[in-house]
């Protein structure tokens, strides 16, 4: 195995002491069916791969081992799915944040690859922030939604590229880990969901194949464009935050605290 300086799991205590880092990236994923065309670990693999892309562009940044399990109960009618309960997922994220803070890291970027983790990210992060006001936490909760405004309006063919195992997710996977994908088996269902209301569905109500959207429209070329555009946007944002030492307080709050501005 080749040692990767971006991965905390590869570093010895001596390595960390010699080259400490200021920010960590926490990739979150899941283990669940993504149809016949994507690996069950797609969410974790995607978040982890993107985290490495981002870390490679930023100084003094390292990637934590991914959390490979998520809250996936509503996907369990499709195999192979292993799920955490919401309280467990929340506790895991909170414990990681507490541990990182204890290690002296005050800047954390959570890069999430699975929709079922979003409530736990919110709860764990809010609790950690209240407990440690000097801890700075930012997250990308749903990279698939963040991509849409970064790309041309006609970039995706169907449903804005959305879907579990859909056009966008398969395209990204073809760019990040093509050897694990089976695009020739791609099939999905575009569900008829209301536009302004959020239906709390069970996945087997939406599809008979374990995937939604239209993965037949995916391509590696689309995925490479998506990967670059998303990585560039994240890196640009984090660099701007670094320039202000992640001080996102409003002018009024700074004045109230006696800061010069």
Residue 78 has pLDDT above 80, yes or no: yes
The share of the chain scoring above pLDDT 70, in percent, equals 99
pLDDT tens per residue, range 10-60: 999 999 999 999 999 999 999 999 999 999 999 999 999 999 999 999 999
Q: How many domains does the chain have?
A: 1
Q: How confident is the model at residue 93 (pLDDT cuts 50, 70, 90)?
A: very high
Q: Residue 258 falls within a domain, yes or no? A: no
Residue 252 CB-half CA count within 13 A: 0
| Mean pLDDT rounded to a whole number for the chain | 97
End-to-end CA distance of the chain: 49
Is 66 inside any structural domain? yes
In whole angstroms, give the CA distance from residue 48 to residue 51: 5
> What is the per-residue pLDDT for 259?
81
Model pLDDT, residue 258: 81
Q: Residue 202: is its pLDDT beyond 70?
A: yes
Taking only the tens place, the pLDDT of each residue in 129-176 is 999 999 999 999 999 999 999 999 999 999 999 999 999 999 999 999
At residue 256 the predicted structure's pLDDT band, cuts being 50, 70 and 90, is: confident
List the domain range (segments joined by +) for residue 121.
Answer: 8-246
- Contact present, 66 and 27 (Cβ < 8 Å): yes
Has residue 254 been placed in a domain? no
- Give 205-252 pLDDT, tens digit per residue: 999 999 999 999 999 999 999 999 999 999 999 999 999 999 999 999
Give the per-residue pLDDT at 261.
54
In the beta sheet, which residues pair with residue 164? none
Query: Residue 108 belongs to a domain with what CATH number?
Result: 3.40.50.10310
What is the per-residue pLDDT for 64?
98
């Amino acid at each position: 195995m080749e040692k990767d300086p971006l991965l905390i799991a590869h570093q010895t205590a001596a390595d960390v002491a010699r080259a400490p880092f200021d920010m960590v990236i926490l990739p979150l994923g899941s283990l669940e069916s993504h149809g016949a065309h994507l690996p069950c670990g797609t969410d974790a693999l995607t978040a982890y791969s993107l985290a490495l892309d981002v870390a490679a562009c930023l100084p003094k940044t390292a990637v934590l081992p991914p959390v490979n399990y998520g809250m996936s109960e509503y996907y369990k009618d499709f195999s192979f799915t292993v799920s955490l309960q919401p309280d467990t997922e929340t506790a895991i994220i909170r414990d990681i944040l507490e541990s990182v803070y204890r290690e002296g890291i005050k800047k954390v970027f959570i890069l999430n690859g699975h929709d079922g983790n979003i409530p736990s990210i919110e709860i764990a992060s809010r609790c950690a922030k209240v407990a440690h006001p000097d801890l700075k936490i930012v997250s990308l909760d749903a990279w698939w939604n963040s991509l849409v405004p970064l790309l041309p309006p006609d970039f995706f063919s169907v449903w804005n590229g959305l879907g579990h195992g859909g056009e966008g997710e398969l395209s990204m996977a073809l760019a990040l880990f093509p050897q694990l994908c089976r695009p020739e088996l791609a099939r999905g269902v575009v569900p008829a969901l209301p536009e302004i209301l959020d239906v709390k569905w069970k996945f087997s109500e939406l599809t008979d194949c374990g995937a939604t959207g239209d993965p037949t429209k995916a391509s590696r070329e689309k995925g490479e464009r998506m990967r670059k555009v998303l990585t560039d946007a994240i890196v640009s944002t984090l660099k701007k935050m670094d320039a202000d030492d992640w001080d996102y307080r409003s002018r009024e709050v700074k004045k109230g605290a006696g800061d010069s501005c």
